[in-house]
Structure 1
């Protein structure tokens, strides 16, 4: 396993790679995580793959100096620089995206379907528009309110608690939100990461057309007890592309990207 930095305009993307095959497996991590979450795959990955894991902007050791904006153009330039550096320009890419990384994987599938061999999405974000994320990142009023809330979170947490008491918000979501607004540094990171990733918003209707026209395999993996990203989203997404898209459920919560589920993940890569 080796690590390096990849230049991109004023920034440096930190990444890791292992394996020496001619097929590419590109791994995209979840919110608040890093490329290290995929390291356990090195023991299990088939020999025909070279695996790349990248720290996305404002995550891990990546030094992002392009402001609070990460676009599809940035993503494509980074991937192109990566494959040229490793002399894999003609290789097909299998995408493996977890949670937020699933949304990035969908954006790549939409942008370069002809380069994609397969897409594996683990408890993926991006299959449903989250109202709060849309409000906070796509509207002027929402952005201002989001910025204010990250500096003065008390009112918002009180609102969530009231929603929980009225059974409008479940306990898992309440705990999840409490974690991300309890600390000044964590709130700053939340603001930077959410705003930076706001341009990554895949068009699901168009993507499903691409899946059919290019006959692209898609594999979905969810946790049965996940209350953050529920498997019903995947079931809805499969409608109309059942011949190409399979859905698998394991007995866990949101943390499906763990070594104890390595065999299930490898099966999806090979299926």
Structure 2
């Protein structure tokens, strides 16, 4: 994979590229990850494709200087700059988004549906509004409490422990939450990432209309044992677009984007 930067306003957006095919695959990683999570695909993807994987703001080597805000307009401008730099011209895109990157891919589909060839979404965020995420990022009081908690997390740890003892929180969610608030630097990044990505809010009703109007194939892939993003969300999203949207379940948890699952991923991209 070759890596480079795109200049955008005061920021530098890092990305990687592989292949030289006419078909373009745009990849968006999950929370806390980077473009490197897609590197294994280079060995397996058809020579028909050129793969681009972007480090989202507050992730990887991207140097985001636009404050705690990353909007759909920013996303579109970055993709347009990428197209101009690599003379992609009239090429349509296949989108590949994992977890949080699935939400980004859905937002891009909403903005430029005519440019989308296909969307492959791996355990995608964005198909259901999480109450706590909404509270922490979409309300002033919730965001202030979120900021306070990231600086003074003791009360929140106690609440998690109580929820676990009462069996109100399953162990997967407890382990996931503990991991992302275990030290001050990780908590700071959590606040920046959640708050910065708060305006990436795909409108599912509009997106389903666009999928039908533009006849865009959508492929959903979930882990059967995923307790973070459950496949039932995808089943609900499919209603009304069944002829365009398929759902596939594999024997894993949330970590769907791994080389051991490459056959299923490649099949959904190329079929």
TM-score range, shorter chain: over 0.9
Structure 1, residues 130-166: CA drift from partner, whole Å, max 9, x if none? 1110000000110100000000111111112111111
Q: Secondary structure at the match of 2:149?
A: helix
| Separation in structure 2 between the aligned mates of residue 66 and residue 15 of structure 1, nearest angstrom | 18
Shift of 1:189: 0.4
**Is 1:184 equivalent to 2:184 in the alignment?**
yes
**Alignment partner, residue 148 of structure 1:** 148
Shift of 1:237: 0.5
Shift of 1:22: 1.1
Which segment drifts farther, 124-133 or 160-169? 160-169
| Separation in structure 1 between the aligned mates of residue 239 and residue 43 of structure 2, nearest angstrom | 35
Q: Secondary structure at the match of 2:160?
A: helix
**Alignment partner, residue 129 of structure 1:** 129
Structure 1, residues 155-188: CA drift from partner, whole Å, max 9, x if none? 1111121111111111110111111111000000
**Alignment partner, residue 102 of structure 2:** 102
**Alignment partner, residue 39 of structure 1:** 39
Shift of 1:23: 1.1
Structure 1, residues 82-102: CA drift from partner, whole Å, max 9, x if none? 011101021000000000000
| Separation in structure 1 between the aligned mates of residue 157 and residue 236 of structure 2, nearest angstrom | 31
**Alignment partner, residue 72 of structure 1:** 72
**Alignment partner, residue 263 of structure 1:** 263
How high is the TM-score relative to the length of structure 1?
0.99
| Separation in structure 2 between the aligned mates of residue 3 and residue 174 of structure 1, nearest angstrom | 36
**Alignment partner, residue 29 of structure 1:** 29
| Separation in structure 1 between the aligned mates of residue 168 and residue 241 of structure 2, nearest angstrom | 32
Give the 4+ runs in structure 1 shifted more than 2 A: none
**Alignment partner, residue 236 of structure 2:** 236
| Separation in structure 2 between the aligned mates of residue 182 and residue 30 of structure 1, nearest angstrom | 19
Q: Secondary structure at the match of 2:25?
A: strand
**Is 1:90 equivalent to 2:90 in the alignment?**
yes
| Separation in structure 1 between the aligned mates of residue 262 and residue 242 of structure 2, nearest angstrom | 24
Q: Secondary structure at the match of 1:102?
A: helix
Structure 1, residues 211-235: CA drift from partner, whole Å, max 9, x if none? 1111110000000100000001001
**Alignment partner, residue 170 of structure 2:** 170
Shift of 1:41: 0.2
| Separation in structure 2 between the aligned mates of residue 208 and residue 160 of structure 1, nearest angstrom | 36
Instruction: State how many pairs are aligned.
Output: 271
Q: Secondary structure at the match of 1:88?
A: coil
**Alignment partner, residue 248 of structure 2:** 248
RMSD (Å), alpha carbons: 0.6
| Separation in structure 2 between the aligned mates of residue 217 and residue 170 of structure 1, nearest angstrom | 34
Which blocks of at least 5 consecutive residues in structure 2 are unaligned? Answer: none
